[in-house]
Structure 1
């Protein structure tokens, strides 16, 4: 058995794990689905922590972001994201509560590239008093982001509309 041929791959794996671990350790875990804005903040918390399965899980059954692999691969070059939330509007319709969440995103990619995005998330919860177990908290129903000009403060759209 050649120890040298085993040590390098093991060190590479440990290095990759410790990098992800540092991102998770330095950013507090947030999972709050109590309203639309909190849900979107939790989404970007998961992305910053590189917890893509958790981020993907915030989307409803329709999965407006496509399959998980494509979703996770979309963040392959992302080092960090910052989210700013505008004025959230809420309305009820057909036993559901919808929250339209306007956002501006600052994305810092590998090699220092900075990009800005602007758009809207629409989160939905079935009226909690009408639910039976298992309880389903707010989920993201639609997501629409377009590349925008910075700075982030100027990229927040006005009001978004719920369906």
Structure 2
């Protein structure tokens, strides 16, 4: 492909659906309380120090809250938590936790959803504009895992489980 050729956003998004990803709910605090958004653009960056990255749309109010707070939680959803993924997935909204069961992480004060495969508490160490998104790199301050849970996976536009 030459530099003059353009890749349509829908074509790019469609191609990326062929890569299975885990499904997370990322939480942070804003002046109005705890906010949450579904994410699947999450990856490990470094083992020493433990760093992870997430990306959210520049147009999302959640991105503003996340960058302002600098402290956030990641709840890796279990196979039976698809409803939570759908609930927090609206791109342009910032959802509060309402009646969703959660605990407050001691390292960050971020909300951590209950019964998840894993939870991480993070502190932002870098943000970088990346096209129409903001890349946030966070240092993992605390984590917890549950070995008896099966993760929720997103692949080709639908939810799946790992067997």
- TM-score, structure 2 as length reference: 0.24
Say which structure is richer in strand. Answer: 2
Higher helix fraction (1 or 2): 1
Q: Flag the structure with larger Rg.
A: 1
